[in-house]
Chain A
Amino acid sequence: MNWFQRLSKTGRMEKDLDAELRFHFETQVADKIQAGLSEAEARRATRLEFGGLDQIKQDCRESRGTLWLVSILQDLRFGARILAKSPGFSVTAIVVLALGIGVCTLAFSLYNIAALQSLPVHDPATVVRIQRRSPENITPGLPYASIAYYRDNAKSLSAVMETMGSAPLVLNQDEQRVSATFVSSNYFSELGAAAASGRLFDAAQDDAASAPACVLSYRLWQRRFDGDPSIVGRAIRLGGRPATVIGVASEAFASLGTDDPDIWLPLLQHSYFVEGSKPLADPKFEGLIAMWGRLAPGVSRSSAEQELLSLTNQLRKIYPTVIWDHEYIVITPGAHFLSFEGGPGAPPVLPLVALLVFLILAIACANLGGLLLARGAGRQREIQLRFDLGARKLRVFRQLLTENLLLGSLGSIAALPLSYAVLRLVLVYSNAPAWMSAMPDWRVFLFTVTMGFFAALLFGLLPTLQMVRRKKNRSLWHQFVVCAQVGASCVLLILAGLLVRATLHTLYSDPGFGYEQVLSIDPGMSEHGFASVQAQTYLDQLQSRLRAVPGVTFVAIARVPPLVNTMIMMTSIDVAGRRIMIYPNWVGPDFFQTMRIPLLRGHYFHNGEKNAVILSESLARKRWPSEDPIGKKWEKSNDVVVGVVGNTRAMELNNTDATEIYYPPTADDFPAMAVLVRAAGDPNTLTPTIKAIAGSIDTGLYPTITPLTAGFRKSVSQVEQIATIVSLLGSVAIFLAVVGLLGLVSYAVSQRTREIAIRLALGANRMEIFTAVLRRFAWPVLLGLVAGVAITAGLSQILRRALYGISGLDPISYMGAMAILIAILAAAALLPIRRAFQLDIARTLHFE
């Protein structure tokens, strides 16, 4: 008989067991009668020898080995009845758990979508991302010459795809530009993509001279063309160049990487759409062509890396200047939205988020523990009764644990729809690609169930043990629960406070430069293959024409226009063994007036001045703490410091201590330069004029014109989003802490109802009783606060970059959070005590 048969024949086996033991009993009685005892005596003696018949039966059942299943079913049924009997407790516990687990599930779902789920492409397991590395260099892209060589020679790759992002393009005459990605002709077919209308790129695009074509994204098709199917076959203008729409990608199409463009263009026609560019012909082109591949059947990533490495070494002979020393190829799974590879120095986002989220779960669990404990007091009588009836400790323990697990699974079940709803909102709000679904998959299910299991097990364990051991003194666990709750809530509240303060600080403090009335004009000359002389001519013309426009007060050029720069450059120097990170910029003479950056010492750049640098005040102070920097040689160059200007937070709004160095532009810089224009009034009114001027100088360029305020708002909104999320987490934490404390204080009061009644009857001061009940919570609260502050102070060092000029130890945030927490805790404590004061003294004392 296997265990299943045994289980299914429980009834029969019970009868057998009973019959077997009865036979033994009767035979023993019969033997005793034969030995001369009366029947009554014989029965009495036998019964005494037998001892507890039920105990023997139970032991037999247990040795049968199926009992655990039967009794778990029993326990579950009993647990469900117990929970149904006290709906108030059950609902509170489930809500607390659902919140705690829900937050974890939500965070995990996001991680799951971004990093664990495969993109919905054909055979995602073999899609890989291919990047080049060397001990000195990390770049996401490869030169086209390398890609082509690998494509033609690698046997471990069955296909190679390329993608290349682009600056936003003007569509027809639209104000709003569209994002575009250049892709190889096999991109759609390799990914198994379907067209919503028309067709996608195919071998026809292998010919660079074929008719210029583009594929629209489903989103752009709906937004811009109202889903009109007749758009297929029509010509549109992109960046001034006519191109035929050959089709629309399906709504569910997932492009590789985080890239989610409005429009796809054939990579081979890059030079057509971006005039003068030659990303394919010039092996030294610094553009970012990303290489993707499909592993040949049966080939592992590491063996493909091996093969490509040997190809790299052959490639070095053909392009000695292009291939780095010790260059090697890294192959990572490609069919994921994000890969959390993270280079050195990247902020530890994942562990940080995990920590915050588990804090919430910890609070929820500590709460659950407190609630269970408080309830355990009410069930003391029931448990005692079961012990008196002969139940063993392990048995009672298991029963209570089963109840906890039941609670845990109910919490998990409630957490799933909760996290689903929030995730849907998040996806809609963040304009996520259509293939991302909030529907939980098996990983999310597994995660949620596991979380529920652990929550119930770990935090139900201690109170349950105490209940089983029938210990009267639970105050230590209580105090721990209070301490943990307060500490964790404290961390979340202070973090929320810090981030909110940081947002306000960025919004309302002086960034060190005037950005409100400045426009940035990026002609994108380097993309169009401008040489430096050509670029300089263009810039000179554009500047002089702009200066003549009424309403324009200053015009300047800069390589890195503040706030709207797409690329951040950094350099560093070592002063007395300490590394100072510096933001370099290459600027024209009028840059400082245009940006309203004050001159503190020396002079601004003169026209055509060479071998000169201007330092920001903080950099000058760090480099020469006690000397006048003017006239000093800058490091190991021939550059002389000619001026010191005010600090700005142009490159890093969050860092008041950022240091900048300014160089006059060299010939190489000109193609990468942008023009900055300061207006006397509203800068946006100048946009049409600027467009007209730019168009009259060069018809091939379509400059991107952005007000710096837009860039400012964009950087701030990121902080705002983080602040909102942490604030939400903080409020969940407060809610949980309130529920938990309410439960614990109610319990403490209920334990001392008689004492309070007697004191009241004897005319005690209510305040005294109040403090007497609450005194035992004072220490844990204090300890929790201290621990919370200490943890946050540590965490805030990691967050420093996100804190936008607020110290990680900002006293207002800390004091504010603690004040709020204490006020809420006091209110939560007051409620049950108030109830105690209103109790009927006579009845209470009588009842006891």
Chain B
Amino acid sequence: MTTPSKFDLPQGTLDLLILRVVALGSIHGYAIAQQIQLISKEALQVQQGSLYPALHRLENKNFLVAEWGPTETGREAKFYRLTAKGRTQLRAETESWERLTEIVAMILRQPLGERL
């Protein structure tokens, strides 16, 4: 809210990104936000206000499971892990995302003024 993200993520994209990041290994919420920011080279900033509801939603759908454990600094944090169901979901979502972007790109690449 205070720092506007550079992009407005399309509906459902955040869930996909979270699944992807969590797929790399057990990770807590703050680190997920950091990772997304890092990988996107600061282009994406995930708001806490979107991140946590999304995490809870994915946990509720049994795509993620959470466990409390110590961080490297010794504090207790909630670590999320992908479930088998989440992995399947990630695969399906990734596939459909790729197809979508391909199609969108295909259309956008079509030079203006030409029709098939």
Report which A residues bind B (CB closer than 8 A).
Answer: 16, 19-21, 23-24, 26-28, 30, 48-52, 55-56, 59-60, 62-65
Contacts and interface: CB of A to CB of B under 8 A. Distances in A.
A24 B30 contact: yes
Interface of B: 1-3, 28-30, 33, 47-49, 52-57, 60, 68, 73, 75-78
B53 A50 contact: no
A64 B56 contact: yes
A59 B53 contact: yes
Contacts of A65: 60
24 contacts: A19-B76, A20-B29, A20-B77, A20-B78, A23-B29, A23-B77, A23-B78, A24-B30, A24-B33, A24-B48, A27-B30, A28-B30, A30-B73, A48-B2, A51-B2, A51-B47, A51-B48, A52-B49, A56-B48, A56-B49, A59-B49, A59-B52, A63-B53, A64-B56
> At the interface, is chain A mostly helix, strand, loop or mixed?
helix
Contacts of B1: 51
Contacts of A59: 49, 52-53
Nearest to A24: B30
A63 B57 contact: yes
Contacts of B57: 63
Q: Enumerate the 3 nearest inter-chain pairs by beta-carbon distance, A residue then B residue, closest first.
A: A63-B57, A59-B53, A51-B1
A60 B53 contact: yes
A62 B48 contact: no
A26 B78 CA distance: 14
Contacts of B47: 51
A52 B1 CA distance: 9
Contacts of B49: 50-52, 55-56, 59
Contacts of A20: 29, 52, 77-78
A63 B60 CA distance: 8
Contacts of A24: 29-30, 33, 48, 52
A55 B1 CA distance: 12
Given A20-B78, A23-B75, A49-B2, A64 B60 contact: yes
A606 B37 CA distance: 117
A762 to B, nearest CB: 53
A27 B75 CA distance: 9
B52 A60 contact: yes
A50 B30 CA distance: 12
Contacts of B76: 19, 23
Contacts of A50: 48-49
Contacts of A60: 52-53, 55-56
Contacts of A48: 2
A412 B95 CA distance: 54
Contacts of A21: 48, 52
A63 B56 contact: yes
A257 to B, nearest CB: 59
A62 B1 CA distance: 20
Contacts of A56: 48-49, 52-53
Contacts of B68: 16
A93 B116 CA distance: 69
A51 B50 CA distance: 11
A832 B55 CA distance: 57
Which among A16, A19, A27, A56 has the greatest number of chain B C-beta atoms within 10 A? Answer: A27
A23 B53 contact: no
Contacts of A62: 53
A390 to B, nearest CB: 13
Contacts of B54: 63
Contacts of B56: 60, 63-64
Nearest to A23: B77
A472 to B, nearest CB: 31
